[in-house]
Chains A and B, each alone.
Chain A
Amino acid sequence: MTRATSSAPPNSRAPILTACAILIFAFIYLPIVVLIVYSFNRDGVGGFPPQHLTLDWYRQLFADGAIWDAVLNSVIVAAASVALALTLGLLAALALDRADFPGKALFRRLVLLPLILPGIITGLSLLMFAVFVHLPLSLGTIFLGHGTALISVATTELFAGLQKIDRAQEEASLDLGATPWQTFWRVMLPSLKLPLIAAGLLIFTLSMDEIAVTFFLIGRDNTLPLEIWGRLRRGITPEINAISTLIFALSVALIVIWYRIRTRGLGTEPQDLLEQPKTQEQAA
């Protein structure tokens, strides 16, 4: 925080800039506030001012079987994607950090590609792949898409985590006769605990919300975003506001936890997700 207080120049009163910042915050939050308010509006979405507050839409939502089936599907896919992306992301981060192999630069770019490509490209590529190898579309293909695409997030997050841990501990462990396997489980993984949890939460949230890739890989079972998507096409009711409000509340909770863990694990430096690991190239 010392940096923050010393950074303001002496003439730090800037009323116009402050007003702009408030307006921009309003633009960012207005839709979310509107969404939440109208989830309690008896007369449906639209009309002003909202009148007759009610919890009916939430009651209707909790009685809605299709929505909860979709929630369950999404949770299954998200949990499996977290497991896959963390495992392969950790290995990829280790490989990028500690091993040299042919095609390393290409590999790095390729892993990060789903993060910066529009979802439709990744989704369609995987659709063509699934059809090509006669893989029927199901929750399994969605898992394949989410898990593979989110390796990018796991890799960047865990690579950043690896940069922060003390290599001397591992060297000491190896010098004292531990096998690489023991060192991996007893020294390195424990010191990566916070980045692993933080990356896991982030991947879970992203998978729960994913729609562009899912759109093309969906089989018979809907995920939550696609269930909502289907309903939107049939017309809108405050029940969608109600589920959206719950999703919002849950994401905020997860993000606050994620942010806390991440700041403890990686320091307060805001890290750009897309910032590419550069240290190795510069060292070379």
Chain B
Amino acid sequence: MHSRAYKTLITAPPLLWVGLFLLLPYLLMFAHSFWIVRDGFLVHEWNLQNYHKLISNPLYVEVLLRTMRIAASVTLLSVFLGYPLAYYLSFHAGARKELLYQLVIVPLWVSYLVRGYAWKTILGSDGVLNGFLQYLHITHEPVGALLYSPFAVIVMLTHIYTPFVFLPIYASLEHIPRPLVEASHDLGANRLTTFLRVILPLSMPGLLAGATFAFVLSLGDFLAPLLVGGPSGTMIANIVQSLFGAAYDWPLGAAISVCILLITITLLSLTERFEKRWSFK
């Protein structure tokens, strides 16, 4: 129905912009990862040295493993919090459903920094939680290990990603045809069986989407460790950030970024495949 000129007019500007300011920068990062720094200058000399450094330096491997552990914990915790909440809203909230749904998405858009800062004031050694514990005479001295630890990073990121995980799970629970659930009850299945055999499998695509999202974004987070993580909570993106800052080794930083990027894209395409297989038709 539309002329070719019209189609070119709507296609060309976004294509050009995205090509120039998104694809080109990503490709540039890829290219950097094969270059090196010599005497403080970037040299466009193609080689695999950076990737070799990554594999052979135990520090990088250790931090990457720790990052994966933190991201996995955040993902698990977010699912354990997000799923029951979504289940409750979808099946038991009744008339309050709409209001409660809005209550979950409000914090979703409340500043990342504001929420991180809140945890810093809560978990600090002279923070709110320690004040509270001493007020109740549960402890008499501040519990020191709360802030500046991987634990604090996990708490903060779980707090941030729980609503993100909630959303797709809730959407997939809402899409389950209710007669299926009723049929399961009518045929004598108890609630646990109905949940395990009907609801859980049908909500798997949402669960996977949410879990992938939480994992991927935690994997590349560098702000939470800076804010509440301390030295023991350092994650892989902090190494990248320091390589781009004081350490000045952009190519090595780019190589680590490319690894994060590859892990991300692999995970995303895997879940996309699973989602297709498990989608209810």
Residues on A lying within 8 angstroms of B by beta carbon are: 1, 3-12, 14, 17-18, 20-21, 24-25, 27-32, 34-35, 38, 45-49, 87-89, 91-92, 94-95, 98-99, 101, 107, 110-111, 113-114, 116-122, 124-129, 132, 144, 148, 151, 170-171, 174, 180, 202, 205-206, 209, 211-212, 215-216, 225, 228-229, 232, 236, 240-241, 244, 247-248, 251-252, 254-256, 259, 268-275
Q: How far is the CB of B68 from chain A (nearest CB, A)?
A: 14
B28 partner, pick from A45, A107, A132, beta carbons under 8 A: A132
Q: Please judge, given known A-B contacts A121-B260, A244-B117, A270-B174, whether A14 and B92 are in contact too, CB under 8 Å.
A: yes
Q: How far is the CB of A10 from chain B (nearest CB, A)?
A: 8
Q: List 5 A-B contacts (CB under 8 A).
A: A24-B162, A88-B18, A111-B22, A211-B112, A252-B110
Residues on A with C-beta less than 8 A from B168 are: 272, 274-275
B118 partner, pick from A12, A18, A32, A202, beta carbons under 8 A: A32
Q: Quick check: is B219 within 8 A (CB to CB) of the other chain?
A: yes
Question: How many positions in chain B have a CB within 8 Å of any CB in the partner chain?
Answer: 99
Q: Beta-carbon contacts of B258-276 to A below 8 Å, as 1s and 0s?
A: 0011001000100000000
B206 to chain A: closest residue by CB: A272
Contact (Cβ within 8 A) A28 B217: no
Residues on B with C-beta less than 8 A from A14 are: 88, 92
A9 partner, pick from B102, B105, B185, B220, beta carbons under 8 A: B185
Residues on B with C-beta less than 8 A from A45 are: 121, 127-128
Q: Is the interface of A mostly helix, strand, loop or mixed?
A: helix
Contact (Cβ within 8 A) B13 A88: yes
Restricting to B97-149, which residues have a CB under 8 Å from any CB of A? Answer: 97-98, 101-107, 109-115, 117-122, 124, 126-128, 130-132, 134-135
Contact (Cβ within 8 A) A6 B178: yes
Q: How far is the CB of A280 from chain B (nearest CB, A)?
A: 14
B27 to chain A: closest residue by CB: A125
Residues on B with C-beta less than 8 A from A252 are: 106, 110
B272 to chain A: closest residue by CB: A276
Known pairs A9-B181, A47-B128, A129-B24 / 20 extra A-B pairs, C-beta < 8 Å: A4-B93, A5-B94, A11-B191, A20-B85, A25-B85, A27-B81, A31-B119, A31-B122, A31-B159, A35-B118, A91-B11, A95-B11, A98-B2, A117-B261, A118-B219, A121-B260, A122-B25, A126-B21, A148-B22, A241-B121
